[in-house]
Amino acid sequence: MNNGAATRRLLLPGSTLYVIFFAIPLAILGLYSFWTQVDFKMHPGFTLEHYHAVLTTSLYRSVFLRTIIVAILTSIIVVPIAYILSYIMQFVFPRKGRILFDIILVSMFSGYLVRIYAWRTILGKEGLLNAALIQLRIITKPITFLIFSNWSIAITLVGLLIPLALLPISSSMVNVSKDHLEVAEDLGSRGLKMHRTILIPMVLPGISTAFAISFILAAGDFVVPRMVGGTNGVMVGNLIADQFKGLAPNWPLGAALAISVLAILIAIHSVTMRLIREFTRW
C-alpha cells in the first residue's frame, strides 16, 4: 500500500472528479467574466466592462457593502457562540458533550429551505414571536423591524451556521486537555484571561476555519435574503442568481460578480485573521 503508484491510483478517481467538475467549471466561470454577451449568445474576448460595472454601479456597490456588513455581523455572532458551546461541551459538561454535539449536528440537516421559511413564520408581523409577545402583554403593537430587514437575514443565517462553525472549533479543541487549562489557571490565567492567552490561541486554526466558513456561506447565500430579506434585502447572492436564473440573464456579468465576491471574501478573511492573531498575542 505504501508505494507511490498505488497512492496515485487511489487518489485518481476523486481528483479527476474534482478537476473536471469543480476546478475546470470555476476556471470557465472566471474566463466568462471577461467575455461579452450579445442577444443571449456568449462572445469570447477580453473585456473588463463587467468588473468596471461591479466597481462603479452604485446599486452593486451598495449591495456589496450590505452583504459584507450582514456577513460580518453574522460571523461575529456565530463564531463566539460556537466557541462557547464547544468549550461548554468539552470542559463544563464533558459527559453530556457528545450527545449535545450530535443533537446540534442533527439541526444542521433539518431542511435548509424549510428552516428559512420557518423563520419567516416566527419573525413575521403576524408571526409567532409577535403573537406570543402580545399575548404576554409585553408589547401592544407587533414589532416589525425583525422581519424583512438585515436583522431577519442575520438571525436566520446565524441559525443555519452555528452547527457548521461548531465543527472546526470543537475538532481543534479536542486536542486541548483539561490539564492544560488547569496548569494555566494555577499560573494565574483565570477566566477571560485564560481564554485570551491560552485557549483561543490553541484553537485558532479552528476559529479561523469557522470564521471563514460562516463568512463565506453568509455572504454567498441568496435564499435567505430572498425569503426573509424583503424588497430591500437584496444581497450579492441575489444579484448573481438573477444573472443566471432571472428574467434577463447575463452570464458574464454574473461571473464577474461571483469572482468579485470570492476575491472580497478572501481579502476580508485574511484581514480578520490578522486581527484575531494580534488580539490573542500575549
Q: According to CB under 8 A, which residues from 224 to 263 bind another protein?
A: 227, 237, 240-241, 244-245, 251, 254-255, 258, 261-262
159 binds another protein per the rule CB under 8 A: yes
User: Using CA atoms, how far apart are residues 253 and 35, in angstroms rounded to an integer?
Assistant: 9
As measured in angstroms, the least distance from the Cβ of 85 to another protein is 6
Q: Which of 65, 69, 131, 139 binds another protein (CB under 8 A)?
A: 131
**Three-state SS at 43:** strand
Nearer to another protein among residue 136 and residue 282 (C-beta): 136
70 binds another protein per the rule CB under 8 A: no
Could you tell me which residues come within 8 angstroms of residue 220 by beta carbon, excluding any fewer than 6 positions away?
236, 237, 261, 265
80 binds another protein per the rule CB under 8 A: no
Q: Which of 194, 198, 199, 217 binds another protein (CB under 8 A)?
A: 217
What is the phi-psi region of residue 47: left when phi exceeds 0, alpha when psi lies from -120 to 50, beta otherwise?
Answer: beta
Q: What is the DSSP-derived secondary structure letter of residue 156?
A: H
Q: Please count the other Cβ atoms lying within 10 Å of the Cβ belonging to residue 214.
A: 26
Residues in 23-42 at the binding interface with another protein, rule: CB under 8 A: 24-26, 28-29, 32
Nearer to another protein among residue 8 and residue 274 (C-beta): 8
Using alpha carbons, select from 197, 202, 264 the residue that is nearest to residue 237: 264
Using alpha carbons, select from 51, 46, 45 the residue that is nearest to residue 259: 51
Q: Which of 132, 139, 183, 267 binds another protein (CB under 8 A)?
A: 132
Using alpha carbons, select from 227, 242, 177, 240 the residue that is nearest to residue 203: 177
Residues in 85-114 at the binding interface with another protein, rule: CB under 8 A: 85, 88, 92-93, 98, 100, 102-114
Residues in 161-180 at the binding interface with another protein, rule: CB under 8 A: 162-163
Nearer to another protein among residue 30 and residue 281 (C-beta): 30
